[in-house]
Structure 1
Amino acid sequence: MKPYRTVISVPGNKPSWFDKAVVAGADCLCLDLEDSVPPAEKESAREAIRDAIGRISDEHPRVGLFVRPNALDTGETGADLEAVVVPGLTGVFAPKVGSAVDVAKYDALVEHFERRNGASGIEYILPIETIEGIQHCEEIAFASPRVGALIGPTAEHADIAIAVGYEWSPEGTESRYHRSRILLAARAAGVHPLTALWERIRDLEGLEAFTVDSRKMGFRGQVVLHPTHVPVVNRVYTPDPADVDFYRGLLKAYEDAEAAGLGAVMYGDIHIDKAHADKATGWLARVDALAGLHGGI
């Protein structure tokens, strides 16, 4: 999966908002059929999303396009996926996955509709938003090659808050334990670690502080609710040019030392060896990958 910095959630019954999310510079759109769409509008939202997928993928080929269907226990998931698993769709943002068995159920549905509708390569972003999901987050991460990202959720009023019963704070200390578990599961499986969600739309300073803290924990992207949040989050998860220069110089210093038969060398005030070079290589690979996103760097 591409290393999306921003995944913006857009209600599927608001098609006029789809392009606004693209214009905001989000790396990835999540067109929602679940909680943000009233029951009476589910079918029209499916049609709106299906119509938009081909157009947006043609006009903005670097934008990730995901759809959040209704959860497996609603009886709506099959109808959702039948409508939206079409050419141009990047993946499924699958809610309330609690175990590897749930992932296997999605695999069966997605494979069927890929073949039926001529789609391919569908990936999953999986928000871990139930107690069962937290307990089984590692098996979920390894459950399918389609799993591309896990989300460590944090929202004040979302399902995870109800399930865990925590009292939200801007610092996010109450969600740090389960987010850390999910982050480690994502890293172990080699999938993209995302976090979410800052609900206070107008508090951009709070959003930035939360996002910086999440990046320091090890997350590399975030779900956002509003177009005004996109540039803040993109900026925080975009490497600083000075850091890019630092790691390029470090890697060059190590390679020069290695060519001279040395296993370690000083780089400025730092004593570097192969571990430092390995980190620099991975860090710079992410920089290159970010350059290919819709938001760019």
Structure 2
Amino acid sequence: MNPYRSILFVPGHKLEWVHKAMIGQADALVLDLEDAVPPAAKVEARALVRSGLEAAAGSGKGLMVRVNALSTGLAAGDLAAITCDALDAIVIPKVEAPEDVLAYATLLDYFETANGVTAGRVEILIIAETALGILRAYELCKASSRVTSIFGGTARDGDVSRSLGYTWTREGLETLYIRSKVLLDARAAGVRYPISGTWTDLQDLEGLTAFARQSREIGYTGMFVIHPTHVEVVNRVFTPTPAEIAYYQSVLESMEKAQAADLGAIALEGTMVDIAMVEKARQFLEFAQQIGALSQPPGGSRGAAQ
């Protein structure tokens, strides 16, 4: 999966909202067939989502669809309707077991073939939103090669809150372990770009900023957002600053010089820097380049980042 700072949910049955989101600043869009769509409109929404995907195909944004849970009996019909060349990933809700992930992957195998889509094109992004799903986050991420990210979401009074029973606070201490646990499992499973979120208070941009900043600091690379007014804040928080970019460029340049002088470590801005920090610098600069914050690829003595 490409790195996305902001992934905006858009109700799948509101095609006019999809068109507005296409020209907005979100890095990626999730056209929603699940919670945002009334039960009576879910079947009709499939065709609208397919139209939205095809209309947004040239927008340069990542395009995803949140499908309905397997338990609803709607998932196969969703995938039959929306699997196409414009679809980058499906977002799968209420996932609690590796078998759930494999079931979605098997359906994708079938509908990619049936709909003439390149095999393996559509990725899977998992939502771990129950106690069991969070407990098994590592297993879920390893269940299929299609899985490229997981959402460690802790929205106020949402599915996770209901499942675990915590009382939400603006400061987020009660969800820090949950978010950290999902992040650790995701990283251990090889997920490069885990996603945090969501912030449901539409007016509290200060709280959103603090939550996004903490999510970035503990290791998340982006956030799901539920309203266009949140996109600018989240993009800003998850975009590396010029000072951060300059520092990590200095790490690479300084370590090149150190290795040329047969030194294993050097002092940089009062901090000891050694070869182990080179890969961190490369990863940081690669992320900055991929989101457009850095025009040149990261250099250094170990070659291009993998």
- Shorter chain as normaliser: what TM range? over 0.9
**Secondary structure of the corresponding residue to residue 228 of structure 1:** helix
**Does residue 183 in structure 1 map to residue 183 in structure 2?**
yes
Q: 1:20, 1:227 within 8 Å by CA — same for their partners in 2?
A: no
Q: Which residue of 1 aligns with 2:236?
A: 235
Q: Are the aligned partners of 1:24 and 1:231 in contact in 2 as well (CA < 8 Å)? A: no
The answer as to 2:143 corresponding to 1:167 is no
Letter in 2 for 1:286: F
Counterpart in the other structure of 1:265: 266
1:63 corresponds to which letter in structure 2? K
Q: Deviations over 1:256-275 (max 9, x none)?
A: 11022111122231221101
Rounded to whole Å, the distance in 2 between the matches of 1:243 and 1:56 is: 33
Counterpart residue identity of residue 55, structure 1: A
Q: Distance between the aligned counterparts of 2:236 and 2:190, measured in 1?
A: 24
Distance 2:271 2:95 in 1: 44
Aligned partner of 1:90 in structure 2 is 88
How far did residue 288 of structure 1 move? 1.4
Report matched runs for 1:242-281 at 5 Å: 242-281=243-282
* C-alpha distance in 2 between matches for 1:21 and 1:53: 12
Which residue type is aligned with residue 112 of structure 1? Y
Q: Which has the higher contact order (CA 8 A, sep 6+)?
A: 1
List structure 1 segments (4+ residues) > 6 angstroms apart after TM superposition: none
The letter for the 2-side match of 1:279 is: K
Q: Counterpart in 2 of 1:75?
A: 73
Q: What aligned pairs does 1:49-198 form with structure 2 within 5 A after superposition? A: 49-57=49-57, 59-60=58-59, 62-120=60-118, 121-191=121-191, 192-198=193-199
| Number of residue equivalences | 291
Following the alignment from structure 2 to structure 1, what is the Cα–Cα distance between the partners of residues 229 and 22? 12
Q: Alignment RMSD, CA only?
A: 1.4
Q: Taking every aligned residue pair, what percent have the same amino acid on both sides?
A: 43
Asked whether the equivalents of residues 87 and 117 of structure 1 are also in contact (C-alpha less than 8 Å), the reply is no
Separation of aligned partners in 2, 1:142 and 1:236: 29
Q: Could you tell me how far apart the structure 2 residues matched to 1:134 and 1:277 are?
A: 32
Amino acid at match of 1:31: L
> What is the Cα deviation at residue 19 of structure 1?
2.3
Write the letter of the residue equivalent to 1:115. Answer: T
Counterpart Cα distance in 2 of 1:35 and 1:266: 52
Indicate the residue corresponding to 2:2 in structure 1: 2
Shift of 1:100: 0.7
2:204 counterpart letter in structure 1: D
**1:157 CA drift (Å):** 2.3
CA deviations on 1:215-247 (whole Å, 9 max, x unpaired) are 111111101000010010000000001110111
**CA distance, structure 2, for counterparts of residue 199 and residue 268 of structure 1:** 40
Displacement of 1:23: 2.3
Contact 1:127-1:150 at 8 Å conserved across structures: yes
Secondary structure, in 3 states, of the residue corresponding to 2:3?
coil
Calculate the TM-score normalised by the size of structure 2: 0.92
Amino acid at match of 1:277: V
Report deviation, 1:24.
2.3
Distance 1:110 1:6 in 2: 25
Structure 1 CA distance for aligned equivalents of residues 11 and 44 of structure 2: 12
**TM-score, normalized by length of structure 1?**
0.95
> Shift in Å at residue 12 of structure 1?
0.5
Instruction: Give SS of 2:228's match.
Output: coil
Which amino acid in the other structure matches residue 101 of structure 1? E
Q: What's the CA shift for 1:252?
A: 0.4
Instruction: Indicate yes or no: 2:24 matched with 1:48.
Output: no
| Unmatched segments (≥5 aa) in structure 2 | 294-306
Note the alpha carbon deviations across 1:201-224, whole angstroms, 9 max, x for none.
111111111111111111111010
Contact 2:9-2:225 at 8 Å conserved across structures = yes
List gaps (5 residues or longer) in structure 1: 293-297
Deviation at 1:160, TM superposition (A): 1.0
Give the SS at the match of 2:114.
Answer: helix
Q: Deviation of residue 197 (structure 1)?
A: 0.8
Q: Distance in 2 between matches of 1:40 and 1:8?
A: 23
Distance 2:140 2:16 in 1: 34
